[in-house]
């Protein structure tokens, strides 16, 4: 392997360390030159026009005179054949190679479970494996970039895209997003991490301004990005639609220049979201490196900014030539360092969809969370008759809508057309993995019948005579529309209550985009959170119900007892949602600016808010049952520069299972007692087996942000348990005073 390639690989792993270097004309043709010289040579040889070509991309569907080799997908940046620069072929997203509303007719791919379900696995290896799988499919379909890595925190539980993201904790979300992106990029292709930052609701996403104090932002949403970027080393960061502290994220000097490129030393390139640019000079000077999907900017913002407007701004000295060179250098460094620059353009490759479905199934099996299991109702033991009710469980499993929508292998089991203004862009699609068929296979001796649940009388009639009733309850979410409330829609609460009233063995399987309220909780025997479970979701659900899979998922997000418990009991911008009489409303295109006040909870997102207000949720963050129990003991904690904690976990049940001991620190932050997840481990244990595990906290989790990460000298309490607020074991350690760079 040439020296150039090996240095390139080092640069991929350390994109942050690949410097622009001195200008060196013509080095680009020397394939043995280190990446930085190579890129500097390329930039030195480019015309002004060629540089501009690389800083604005298209949305192929709307591209005028679209060349034949452009794939109809999320984005395309043309190449420069004269310099051997290949085009950038971008596809969404984190859950697989998407094909929103079937734009590439019948181009199918393997759909992973939702991001929240991945987060519920708490498993970095599963995150990597999913990323590696979808990245492999993307490359086999000739894409060289995935617009993946959504890591916006779950501040707003009604967020229409909550299902794409990874929950409410910066460490959990950041670690898993990082591993997922590392998996994608292990295929020699590129990935984003998005949407930077604080795009935590869809309603009014193009106009709202997020109000948040710097320390609060750094300790919450920004920390999730920081950890994800450190772990995943993405080639690019995609900006958020909204404003943050006054400026749009795409032209936010503080976010892009100060935090991302300055404090964090990010050396990749910053791309806009689609239809998300508002200026040329301001955005370029604030750190935006590339305008994406310019045709969408023409729709929403009436113009393309990083073409003629940017040229004019450079001409007028509003933007420097150096800045343009920096934009192009950042982009080309990623192409060269990843090997994309040197690879001849590839053809379509075979994909082993059967093998890939097992990756999705494993993720689903580990991400299902058993929330309730009265008198060990599950696994069902030898039922003779099972009534399956609702959720289209006869044909498939639900998925989330919008740009992340994958067209599944085998074709959708069912599509329900969405109505409303965003309807051309979203559809309610069911993946062809029927829970009914999977349950029939899992219980070959049982009579299993289905009722669609729309008629309470026939549903309860069926449930009445059965040994067990399994109700599939669903809640569809999609990009560009938030949920108006956390209640299950379409009278499903009444359906569950009615079934539970006639069948004492009622199991509820939730296929939802996030937490939902459960007024019927105490009348049912068992509840499974099955999120949107992807390509083999039906099989994973059946495995848990039959007991071939011992549930091990843990909630990555708090389930509140009521919306009154939330920092914002009413969704900001809800008036716009309600003004639309259509139930399927696109609320992302609101025109009237408004403010969302994240200073209400500050850094106390999710379980931290519940702890600070002494509120009891319906199910806490980290919660999840298993078919057996674990014993925790022998906690030892040491302090100093950070906290290191060791415990012993023992499986005291009769089955093999996975324990997820979670370590929380309790420390004063700006005078207020604050709880933070500082580590966890997934421990697979055979019956009777025990293991010792040790975690070392990222010291930033023990700090308050104040220009840097400041750790105060003093005691910190560490508790270990099975969910936030569970202090099975507690000990304390003494920290030394310390400041860490931002």
Interface contacts to ligand BGC, rule CB under 6 A: 74, 92-93, 147, 194, 273-274, 403
Residue 566 Cβ, how far from ligand BGC at the closest point, in Å? 24
Give the nearer residue to ligand BGC in terms of CB position, either 589 or 732: 589
Residue 101 Cβ, how far from ligand BGC at the closest point, in Å? 12
Radius of gyration of the chain (CA): 25
Give the nearer residue to ligand BGC in terms of CB position, either 247 or 273: 273
Give the nearer residue to ligand BGC in terms of CB position, either 92 or 511: 92
Residue 274 Cβ, how far from ligand BGC at the closest point, in Å? 4
Structure letter (DSSP) for residue 594? -
Residue 73 Cβ, how far from ligand BGC at the closest point, in Å? 8
By 3-state DSSP, what share of the chain in percent is helix, strand and coil, each rounded to 5? 30, 20, 45
CA distances from 677 to 126, 227, 475, 666, 706 (A): 20, 14, 29, 9, 20
Contact 360, 431 (CB under 8 A): no
**What distance in Å separates the CA atoms of residue 336 and residue 721, rounded to the nearest whole number?**
46
Strand 247-248 relative to strand 385-389, pairing: unpaired
Count how many Cα atoms sit within 13 Å of the Cα of residue 732 in the half-sphere of its side chain.
Answer: 8
Residue 74 Cβ, how far from ligand BGC at the closest point, in Å? 4
Contact 674, 667 (CB under 8 A): yes
Give the nearer residue to ligand BGC in terms of CB position, either 61 or 655: 61
Give φ, ψ of 740 to 5 degrees.
-115, 145
Residue 95 Cβ, how far from ligand BGC at the closest point, in Å? 11
Residue 66 Cβ, how far from ligand BGC at the closest point, in Å? 16
Give the nearer residue to ligand BGC in terms of CB position, either 194 or 676: 194
Give the nearer residue to ligand BGC in terms of CB position, either 271 or 518: 271
Note the maximum CA span of the chain: 81
Residue 545 Cβ, how far from ligand BGC at the closest point, in Å? 34
**What distance in Å separates the CA atoms of residue 598 and residue 283, rounded to the nearest whole number?**
24
Chain centroid offset of residue 59 CA: 23
The dihedral formed by the CA atoms of 696, 698, 699 and 702, expressed in degrees to the nearest 10: -90
Contact 687, 651 (CB under 8 A): yes
Strand 385-389 relative to strand 369-373, pairing: unpaired
Give φ, ψ of 141 to 5 degrees.
-100, 10
Look at residues 30, 129, 135 and name the one whose alpha carbon lies nearest to residue 93: 135
Residue 484 Cβ, how far from ligand BGC at the closest point, in Å? 21
Give the nearer residue to ligand BGC in terms of CB position, either 200 or 601: 200
Residue 48 Cβ, how far from ligand BGC at the closest point, in Å? 28
Strand 644-651 relative to strand 690-696, pairing: antiparallel
Residue 159 Cβ, how far from ligand BGC at the closest point, in Å? 12
Give the nearer residue to ligand BGC in terms of CB position, either 274 or 520: 274
Give the nearer residue to ligand BGC in terms of CB position, either 478 or 678: 478
Residue 710 pairs with which residues in a beta bridge?
704, 739
Give the nearer residue to ligand BGC in terms of CB position, either 40 or 147: 147
DSSP E strands: which ranges in 7-86? Answer: 75-77
In the numeric block, which tokens belong to residue 611? Answer: 């702890």
Residue 654 Cβ, how far from ligand BGC at the closest point, in Å? 45
Q: How long, in residues, is the chain?
A: 742
Strand 369-373 relative to strand 526-529, pairing: antiparallel
Q: Which residue has the tokens 């039959």?
A: 546
Residue 588 Cβ, how far from ligand BGC at the closest point, in Å? 8
Give the nearer residue to ligand BGC in terms of CB position, either 160 or 551: 160
Give the nearer residue to ligand BGC in terms of CB position, either 137 or 394: 137
Chain centroid offset of residue 394 CA: 28
Contact 557, 115 (CB under 8 A): no
Residue 518 Cβ, how far from ligand BGC at the closest point, in Å? 30
Give the nearer residue to ligand BGC in terms of CB position, either 293 or 553: 293
* Kind and range of the H or E run holding 676: strand 672-680
Residue 223 Cβ, how far from ligand BGC at the closest point, in Å? 21
Give the nearer residue to ligand BGC in terms of CB position, either 289 or 722: 289
**What distance in Å separates the CA atoms of residue 211 and residue 697, rounded to the nearest whole number?**
29
Contact 403, 479 (CB under 8 A): yes
Give the nearer residue to ligand BGC in terms of CB position, either 273 or 474: 273
Contact 39, 329 (CB under 8 A): yes
Look at residues 295, 507, 474 and name the one whose alpha carbon lies nearest to residue 380: 507
């Amino acid at each position: 392997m040439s020296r150039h390639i090996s240095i390139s690989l080092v640069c991929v792993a350390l994109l942050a360390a690949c410097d622009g270097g001195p200008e060196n004309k013509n080095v680009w043709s020397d394939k043995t030159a280190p990446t930085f010289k190579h890129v500097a040579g390329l930039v030195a040889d480019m015309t002004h026009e060629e540089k501009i070509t690389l800083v604005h991309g298209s949305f192929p569907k709307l591209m005028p005179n679209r060349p034949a080799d452009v794939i109809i997908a999320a984005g395309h940046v043309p190449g420069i054949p004269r310099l051997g620069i290949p085009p950038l072929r971008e596809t969404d997203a984190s859950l697989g190679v998407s094909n929103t509303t079937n734009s590439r007719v019948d181009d199918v791919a393997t759909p992973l479970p939702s991001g929240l379900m991945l987060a519920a696995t708490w498993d970095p290896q599963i995150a990597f494996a999913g990323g590696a799988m979808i990245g492999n499919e993307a490359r086999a379909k000739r894409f060289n970039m995935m617009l993946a890595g959504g890591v916006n925190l779950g501040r707003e539980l009604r967020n229409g895209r909550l299902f794409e993201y990874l929950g409410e904790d910066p460490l959990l979300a950041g670690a898993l997003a990082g591993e997922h992106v590392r998996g994608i990029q292990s295929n020699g292709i590129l990935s984003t991490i998005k949407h930077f930052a604080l795009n935590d609701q869809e309603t009014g996403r193009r106009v709202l301004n997020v109000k948040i104090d710097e320390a609060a932002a750094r300790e919450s949403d920004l920390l999730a990005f920081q950890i994800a970027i450190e772990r995943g080393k993405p080639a690019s960061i995609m900006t958020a639609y909204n404003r943050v502290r006054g400026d749009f994220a795409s032209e936010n000097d503080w976010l892009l220049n100060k935090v991302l490129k300055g404090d964090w030393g990010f050396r990749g390139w910053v791309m806009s979201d689609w239809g998300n640019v508002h200026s040329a000079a301001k955005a370029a000077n604030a750190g935006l490196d590339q305008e994406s999907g310019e045709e969408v900017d023409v729709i929403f913002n009436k113009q393309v900014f990083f073409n003629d407007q940017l040229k004019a701004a450079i001409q007028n000295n509003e933007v420097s030539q150096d800045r343009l060179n920096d934009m192009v250098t950042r982009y080309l460094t990623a192409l060269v360092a990843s090997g994309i620059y040197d690879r001849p353009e590839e053809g379509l490759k075979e994909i082993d969809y059967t093998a890939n479905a097992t990756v999705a199934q494993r993720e689903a099996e580990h991400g299902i969370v058993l929330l309730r299991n009265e008198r060990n109702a599950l696994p069902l033991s030898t039922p003779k008759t099972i009534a399956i009710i609702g959720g289209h469980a006869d044909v498939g499993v639900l998925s989330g809508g919008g740009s992340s929508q994958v067209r599944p292998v085998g074709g959708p089991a069912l599509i329900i057309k969405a109505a409303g203004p965003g309807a051309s862009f979203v559809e309610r699609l069911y993946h062809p993995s029927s829970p009914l068929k999977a349950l029939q296979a899992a219980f070959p001796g049982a009579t299993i019948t289905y009722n669609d649940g729309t008629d309470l009388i026939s549903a309860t009639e069926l449930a009445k005579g059965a040994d067990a009733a399994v109700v599939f309850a669903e809640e569809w979410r999609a990009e560009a529309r938030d949920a108006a409330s956390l209640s299950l829609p379409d009278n499903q609460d009444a359906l569950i209550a009615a079934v539970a009233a006639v069948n004492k063995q009622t199991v509820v399987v939730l296929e939802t985009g996030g937490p939902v309220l459960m007024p019927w909780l105490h009348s049912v025997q068992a509840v499974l959170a099955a999120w949107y479970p992807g390509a083999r979701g039906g099989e994973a659900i059946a495995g848990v119900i039959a007991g071939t899979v011992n549930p091990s998922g843990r909630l990555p997000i708090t389930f509140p007892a009521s919306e009154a418990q939330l920092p914002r009991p009413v969704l900001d911008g809800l008036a716009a949602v309600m003004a639309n009489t259509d139930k399927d409303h696109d609320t992302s295109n609101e025109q009237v600016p408004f403010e969302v006040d994240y200073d209400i909870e500050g850094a106390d997102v999710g379980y931290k808010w519940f702890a600070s207000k002494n509120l009891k949720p319906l199910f806490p963050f980290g919660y999840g049952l298993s078919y057996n129990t674990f014993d925790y003991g022998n906690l030892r904690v040491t302090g100093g520069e950070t906290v290191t904690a060791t415990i012993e976990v023992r499986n005291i049940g009769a089955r093999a299972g996975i324990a997820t001991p979670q370590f929380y620190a309790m420390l004063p932050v700006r005078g207020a007692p604050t709880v933070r997840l500082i580590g966890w481990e997934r421990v697979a244990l055979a019956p009777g087996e025990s293991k010792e595990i040790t975690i070392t906290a990222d010291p930033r989790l023990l700090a308050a942000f104040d220009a840097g990460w400041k750790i105060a000298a003093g005691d910190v309490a560490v508790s270990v348990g099975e969910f936030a607020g569970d202090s099975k074991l507690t000990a304390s350690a003494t920290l030394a005073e310390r400041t860490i760079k931002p």
